[in-house]
Chains A and B, each alone.
Chain A
Amino acid sequence: MTTENHFSLFRYYLAGSRVGFQRDLQYRLAAFMVLVGFLIEPVVYLSVWTAVARTQGGSVGGFDQGQLAAYYVVWTLVRVYNTAFDPKAWEWRIREGRINVFLSQPVHMFHRDFSIFMGSKLVWTILWIPIAFVLTLIFRPAIEWHVVNVAAFAVAIWGGYGVRFLVLYVMGMINFWTTRGAAMFGIVTALELIFSGRLVPLQLLPDWAQSLAARMPFRWTFQFPIEVLIGRLEPAEVLTGLGYQFAWATGLGLLFALVWSRAVRRYEAVGN
């Protein structure tokens, strides 16, 4: 029963995104509550840094109060786009033999996960809009709106998603060698919190920390898209940032391909 092959990766991504969209739409209330939970973190940071800015004459590290508010409001959207397939979920997948059928299919499961998460982000973005509206009313963010910035942001936020997805996916591969991958994930998450700009804009960190952050991928997943939208970067810096995202995505993609080929050889297909 031979069937003509009409495969196209674009159509596959559409189908995967559709699954992600429909799935998260089913759980929209839960997703909304998670989003509200996401607010606690930036609101605390914003309150602290706004207070610091006030004591220093209205600005800190080159951010005035309106810019800090803009930073943390956009933060909430970038946080949504930074969610990706968790290494802990890889541990479960491997332990339970959940990748067996995916491995027997002709499309790499990377595309499956990547596209499903893409689709779910559309739901989360829609849910984010009212939250952003309320945050804007409360904190009065100062954003200089430019079409070019918005267009660049649209690319940068997806670029950030791509890089972070790959970081987590490569980390997930550790689970093929050890069942203690979650511990390592905890360490990397802590590093990410500091060196991505999530805890605080990197400009507020000491020079040595900024220098370290420049050597890690996290800045390009988090702070870079925020700065693009709130208009803190020159066009050349935006292009350089997008270049960094591309370079990190390529490097991590190659690393993933290398690790994957070894990981699959190790896979013992536990369970059924």
Chain B
Amino acid sequence: MDDPVVAEGLTKTFKVPVRQGGLRESVKSLFRRQYRYVEAVKDVTFSIGAGEIVGFLGPNGAGKTTTIKMLTGLLHPTAGDARVLGHQPWKRDKDLLRRIALVMGQRNNLQWDLPAEDSFLLNKAIYGVPDRVFKERIDEYAERLDVTSLLDKPIRNLSLGERMKMEIIGAMLHGPEVLFLDEPTIGLDVTMQRRLRQFIIDQNREHGVTVLLTSHYMSDVSAMAERVIVISQGSLLYDGLLAGLSSRFSSHKTIRIEATDLTEDLGGLGRVIERNAEHVVLEVERDRVSEVASKLLASATVTDLSIEEPPLEDVIDRVFTGR
């Protein structure tokens, strides 16, 4: 069976009008408009298997949202091709649109003045969800996300996190096979983030929903996705296991050591990040880790030693900034 999401050489170039400041330039632009071309997405190729959760990472303006917009049919690509559940998304076949869902964390799509349960009735009608299924899903999802008592409250009276939970419920009511999530937890507190993550993981495990997720919160990505796709300045930088991201982009590991009589000058072993009488944190080149660990063990009375991958945030920062 074909992968539910396939992108092949996907490219999107925007034509953007440019005008320098000043009155003279303003007048000039009336007669001769100038444009520049911005390549938001460049030749991006990947595929996502059925039932996978993939984290889509990149700094602001990297091309993540543009890619998602092409995959959900909002944008026509300038070049390349894509298939979602066997359809070219920008043709917007009803058969495809019935089987996907898009949630954008910065957009509220439920009726602002009405209780969520009334907005859900519109979603029910859009997707032709049978009465029994609709009721079962509302009850189940609201309970899992702990918003049963809020279903009859107008959306405008809900907190940001509660609104986002309702958005997710609305998006899942028709049982989409592929879910596109663009920053679903943006601005939410840790508890809300956890609830939403767990809900999405449950949908994936129980119903095999394929998920493509963008988020600036590494905790979202590491909790939900084993595989990540990293994009920067429109180009794909990495497509693989999240666990492999560090070894690919970070040449160092972190050694933490607790010791009672550590006297050796540590400068030659690696970069000292933290040091006090009994505790040292060292950043050490990957291929010197065992050598440095042996030296440390031999030179002091070590009570604890751990070797860790660098924090994911640091790795991602390196990838994004090209350091």
Please tell me the number of chain B residues within 8 Å of chain A, measured between CB atoms: 48
Give the CA-CA distance A5 to B133 in the complex, in Å: 11
Verify if B268 is at the interface (C-beta below 8 Å from A). Answer: no
Give the CA-CA distance A267 to B76 in the complex, in Å: 8
Contact between B121 and A1, CB atoms less than 8 A apart? no
Q: A19-B114, A23-B111, A105-B126 are in contact. Are A267 and B208 (CB under 8 A)?
A: no
Give the CA-CA distance A1 to B205 in the complex, in Å: 11
Smallest beta-carbon distance A29→chain B, Å: 13
Q: A2-B177, A3-B133, A4-B133 are in contact. Are A26 and B113 (CB under 8 A)?
A: yes
Give the CA-CA distance A27 to B38 in the complex, in Å: 44
Smallest beta-carbon distance A20→chain B, Å: 10
Q: Which of B81-126 contact A (CB under 8 A)?
A: 92, 94, 97-102, 104-107, 109, 111, 113-114, 118-119, 121-122, 124-126
Verify if B311 is at the interface (C-beta below 8 Å from A). Answer: no
Verify if A98 is at the interface (C-beta below 8 Å from B). Answer: yes
Verify if B75 is at the interface (C-beta below 8 Å from A). Answer: yes
Contact between B127 and A106, CB atoms less than 8 A apart? yes
Give the CA-CA distance A132 to B101 in the complex, in Å: 46
Verify if A51 is at the interface (C-beta below 8 Å from B). Answer: no
Contact between A3 and B127, CB atoms less than 8 A apart? yes
Give the CA-CA distance A96 to B106 in the complex, in Å: 11
Contact between B107 and A97, CB atoms less than 8 A apart? yes
Verify if A7 is at the interface (C-beta below 8 Å from B). Answer: yes
Q: Within 8 Å CB of B107, what residues of A?
A: 97-98, 100-101, 272
Verify if A16 is at the interface (C-beta below 8 Å from B). Answer: yes
Q: A15-B124, A268-B14 are in contact. Are A104 and B74 (CB under 8 A)?
A: yes
Q: Within 8 Å CB of B65, what residues of A?
A: 272
Most B CB within 10 A of own CB, among A15, A104, A267? A104
Give the CA-CA distance A11 to B131 in the complex, in Å: 12
Q: A3-B175, A22-B114 are in contact. Are A103 and B92 (CB under 8 A)?
A: yes
Contact between A7 and B122, CB atoms less than 8 A apart? no
Contact between A269 and B75, CB atoms less than 8 A apart? yes
Contact with A along B172-190 (1 / 0, CB 8 A): 0011110000110000000
Smallest beta-carbon distance B317→chain A, Å: 23
Give the CA-CA distance A112 to B133 in the complex, in Å: 23
Contact between A27 and B113, CB atoms less than 8 A apart? yes
Verify if A12 is at the interface (C-beta below 8 Å from B). Answer: yes
Verify if B209 is at the interface (C-beta below 8 Å from A). Answer: yes
Verify if B49 is at the interface (C-beta below 8 Å from A). Answer: no
9 more contacts with CB within 8 A, not counting A7-B125, A106-B127, are: A2-B177, A3-B174, A4-B130, A19-B121, A26-B114, A105-B127, A267-B74, A267-B75, A272-B104
A interface with B by C-beta (< 8 Å): 1-8, 11-12, 14-16, 18-19, 22-23, 26-27, 97-98, 100-107, 112, 265, 267-269, 271-272
Question: What are 22 inter-chain pairs, A to B, with CB distance below 8 A?
Answer: A1-B175, A1-B208, A2-B177, A3-B133, A3-B175, A4-B130, A5-B127, A7-B125, A7-B127, A8-B128, A11-B128, A14-B125, A16-B125, A18-B118, A19-B111, A19-B122, A23-B113, A105-B97, A105-B127, A269-B69, A269-B75, A272-B182
